[in-house]
Each structure stands twice: as structure tokens, then as C-alpha cells.
Copies of this chain bind each other. A is one copy, B any other.
């Protein structure tokens, strides 16, 4: 069940109502946890923001390996994780491979986390 290369997560299949509203189903929770797991690594978070904030909304891998202290295979691995989570898309154009974010996926997670102002005051 926990095979390494899972199929890319199907965006439409995942729920999107705020989790504050109603309890998450077990199935949805599994799908969503995969996406959050993709965000649970500092390198992947920075990769994602680098891609998202890059001019034109996409970035070549060659732009992404520089800012990190980890090896090129590791960067490639992290990009694969982000892609399989459905958070980024990629395409080869000639020599270089380009990555871009999938806004719908990010917005879905954002909507899920949306909480009402202050249902309970933090102590």
C-alpha cells in the first residue's frame, strides 16, 4: 500500500470545505495528508516558493539547484515528490526541464485550513 511511486494525486477527487466545518473523512484525510507531507520538508517548501515566485511562474531545474546545499539528485527527488503530490507540474523543453506550481492544489489546501477568526481565544 505504501509503494514509493504513487500515481499523481487527482485534484478533483479531494474535498475542499474548511476542516473546521465538518470532520474529515478517512479517505480524504489520506489524500490530503499526502499533499501536506510533500510540504513537510524545508527544502521542498523553499523549492515550491522558488518556483512560484520565479519570473513567468515557472523555473528551470538549473535555477533550483544553486540555492541549496544538497546534491542535484536530492533536488531531483524533492521535485518528484512535489510533482507526485500534484503540487507542481513539469515539462521538458529541449535541454532543460521546467517546473510550475499548480495553483488549484495550493488553493484547495489553503481553503481547507481556513479557520474562523477566533472561535476560542488563545490562552
Chain A residues within CB distance 8 Å of chain B: 19-24, 26, 29-30, 32-33, 36-37, 39-46, 48-50, 52-53, 57-58, 67, 89, 91, 100-104, 106-107, 109-120, 122-123
**A19: chain B residues within 8 A (beta carbon):** 45, 48-49, 52-53
Known: A42-B30, A89-B123. A52 touches B107 (CB 8 A): no
CA distance A21 to B30 in the complex (A): 29
Taking the closest CB of chain B, its distance from the CB of A121, in whole angstroms, is 10
Q: In the complex, are the beta carbons of A20 and B33 less than 8 A apart?
A: no
Give the 9 A-B CB pairs with smallest separation, nearest first: A37-B40, A19-B49, A103-B115, A110-B113, A20-B52, A36-B39, A57-B119, A29-B42, A106-B115
Please name 24 pairs of A and B residues whose Cβ atoms are closer than 8 Å in the assembled complex, sorted by A. Answer: A19-B45, A19-B48, A19-B49, A19-B52, A20-B53, A23-B49, A23-B53, A23-B67, A24-B49, A26-B42, A26-B46, A29-B46, A29-B49, A30-B42, A33-B40, A33-B44, A36-B36, A36-B37, A36-B39, A91-B123, A101-B119, A106-B115, A107-B114, A110-B111
